[in-house]
Amino acid sequence: MASVFSFQAVSDGIVMNFRESSTFGSIKKAVSLHAAEASDFFTGVNLYLNLSGLELAYEQLEELMEIVKNYNQVNKIYFTARKIKEEKSEDNYSDAVIINRTLRSGQRVKHQANIVIVGDVNPGAEVIAGGDIIVFGRLRGVVHAGAGGSKDSQVAALKLDPTQLRIASLIARSPDDSDSSKLQAERAYIEDDQIVVEKI
């Protein structure tokens, strides 16, 4: 389901790319689901719906417009068909999405590059990134950095207390007796095929 569309951050907004030759039914389903679960995803930014590689009838386009109206406070919605060049293949400025709220139990954020969360990640929430995950808050849910297999990825948080922390194919969890409630920024990364945590 998640692979029907993907997000790409551009300078003034977020592009929603659809997998080539997806059926309208699957697009409709995936976007409605996303709009219902993450209605604040595009708050304050422009949303570009990239229709490149799709053939939609006029009615279907109208229907899609109705669905994207369910996102709250989107700045502007554009339809586009341009081929957006893969910026990250040219240089190392990988893009990031910024989530300006607390992720609560049952909420899930997935992005192919980096994710920055300004808020807490509560137990029961999931964050999955192809790159790094930075949390300006308490990290208590499940995080997976380097989900595509990148072992250089890291996870940093003002309070690193995840239910489970995964980087690439390695899995770690917080020690069962960790109960210090004071904020201490920490970073987790891979060293010698092990997840290590250090204070920052």
**One residue of 38, 61, 77, 197 binding other proteins per CB under 8 A:** 38
Instruction: Provide Rg for the chain, Cα atoms.
Output: 18
Binding mask 11-30 for other proteins (x = CB under 8 A): --------------------
DSSP character at residue 117:
E
Determine the Cα angle at 16 with ends 15 and 19, to 5°: 130
Q: Does 72 bind other proteins (CB under 8 A)?
A: yes
Residue 24: other Cβ atoms inside 10 A: 17
66 is an interface residue for other proteins by CB under 8 A: no
Count of residues that bind other proteins according to CB under 8 A: 17
Q: Using CB under 8 A, which of 10, 12, 23, 37 touches other proteins?
A: 37
For the purposes of burial, counting CB atoms within 10 Å of the CB of 194, is it exposed (0-12), middle (13-18) or buried (19 or more)? exposed
* 8 A C-beta contact, residue 126 and residue 146: no
CB of 97 to other proteins, least distance (A): 18
Binding-site member from 104, 110, 151, 187 for other proteins (CB under 8 A)? 104
DSSP 8-state secondary structure symbol assigned to residue 104: P
Over the window 123 to 162, marking each residue x when it contacts other proteins by CB under 8 A and - when it does not, the resulting string is xx---------------x----------------------
- Residue 124 Cβ vs other proteins, minimum distance, rounded to whole Å: 5
Q: Which of 36, 98, 196, 200 binds other proteins (CB under 8 A)?
A: 36
Residue 137, SS3?
strand
Report if residue 39 touches other proteins, rule: CB under 8 A: yes
Closest CA to 192 of 164, 167, 156: 167
Torsion angle, CA of 46/11/154/183, rounded to 10 degrees? -70
* Contact positions vs other proteins (CB under 8 A): 36-40, 72, 102-107, 120, 122-124, 140
